[in-house]
Amino acid sequence: MPDTITLSRDPDALTVTAAGTEIARYVLRPDAPAVEAPKPFLHPLRTLGGAPLTAVRPWDHRWHKGLQMTWSHVSGQNFWGGPTFVRGSGYQRLDNVGTIRHERFEAVVEGDGEAAFTESLAWTTSTGERWIGERRTHRFHAADPARGIWALDFATSLTNVRGSALELGSPTTHGRDAAGYTGLFWRGPRSWTGCDVVSATGITGGDVMGTRSDWIALTGQHDEIDGGATVLCFAGTSSGAAPIRWFVRSEPFPVFSPSPSFDETVVLEPGRVLDLRHRLVFVDRMCASDEVGALAAEFAP
């Protein structure tokens, strides 16, 4: 029987608790400079044993914040934060950084060993135009203290409210090789640098970059706390025409994104909706490849 998961709210954040541990904190109204593209994010994420699973505002990329939903190239706007990659010119600091704002909760549910919340968000450009209306759901479930496991289901619907087509892309669609980061994005703790990366296809390490795979898993070690942990992420689904490909690195820092527009632009016509769904599983130990495969079979969406 899954352990109870509870939610608590304050004006600026929502905290998720399971097995006596605060496993997640969802920051609703971040106090961040405009250049970081302020947006809601999950940090810290923790194992059931309390070990850290995310980093926030690292010195190399201040706009990397735990686990967040974002997009690097949207018809000339940057909802990612920091500089924008420009074909032929490299990364440039442009006056094009937007914001993603929590508007309201539509539902907050607890019970039957899980908890979930659904919210409405607005993607607003650097010039104050509302281009995307988002409906986003986080579902926390499958907390099992005996096995040291819990899971998160993430779903979002992005509606084009601009009035004209939106082109959703990445640095790779704009000319930078192996930089197709878009969509749901995880930044791991600094201690996970050089962590092991495995995939459903058997490809490992840096070779996973840009590939298609039902899932990937990263296994790393903690600072201060003995041992390590495993993060398993399923590619999930996208209603866009481009296939989901993995943006993943363990060097020079640990990151991954099941990218919906890694090397192909997704065009979203006015009024149309892009639906994305992903699942993540957090394990309070370092799993060998065969155990990761068994967990992937067990937790497959």
What is the percent of the chain where pLDDT is above 90?
99
Provide the number of structural domains found in the chain. Answer: 1
Mean pLDDT within 23-43: 97
Q: CA angle, corner 21, sides to 48 and 58, nearest 5?
A: 80
Q: State which residues form the domain around 116.
A: 5-299
pLDDT at 1: 62
Compute the 3-state secondary structure of the chain and give helix, strand, coil in percent, each to the nearest 5: 5, 50, 45
Binned at pLDDT 50, 70 and 90, residue 35 comes out as very high
pLDDT on residue 290: 94
Reported as a single tens digit per residue, the pLDDT across 148-203 is 999 999 999 999 999 999 999 999 999 999 999 999 999 999 999 999 999 999 99
> How would residue 204 be classed by pLDDT, with cut points 50, 70 and 90?
very high
Provide the pLDDT confidence category of residue 5 given band limits of 50, 70 and 90: very high
- DSSP three-state, residue 208: helix
Distance CA 42, CA 64 (A): 11
What DSSP state is assigned to residue 269?
A: -
pLDDT at 187: 98
What pLDDT, on the 0 to 100 scale, is given for residue 239?
98
What is the Cα–Cα distance from 93 to 80, expressed in whole angstroms?
A: 12
How does the average pLDDT of the chain come out, rounded?
97
Indicate which CATH number applies to the domain containing 116.
2.70.98
Nearest alpha carbon to residue 162 among 124, 188, 198: 124
Q: Which helix (H) or strand (E) holds 293?
A: helix 289-299
* Bridge pairing between strands 21-27 and 41-45: antiparallel
**Residue 2 pLDDT > 80, yes or no?**
no
Q: Does residue 216 register a pLDDT over 80?
A: yes
Q: Which of 141, 180, 153 is CA-nearest to residue 18?
A: 141
Mean pLDDT confidence for 269-285:
98
pLDDT band (50, 70, 90) for residue 56: very high
Q: What is the mean pLDDT of residues 209-222?
A: 98
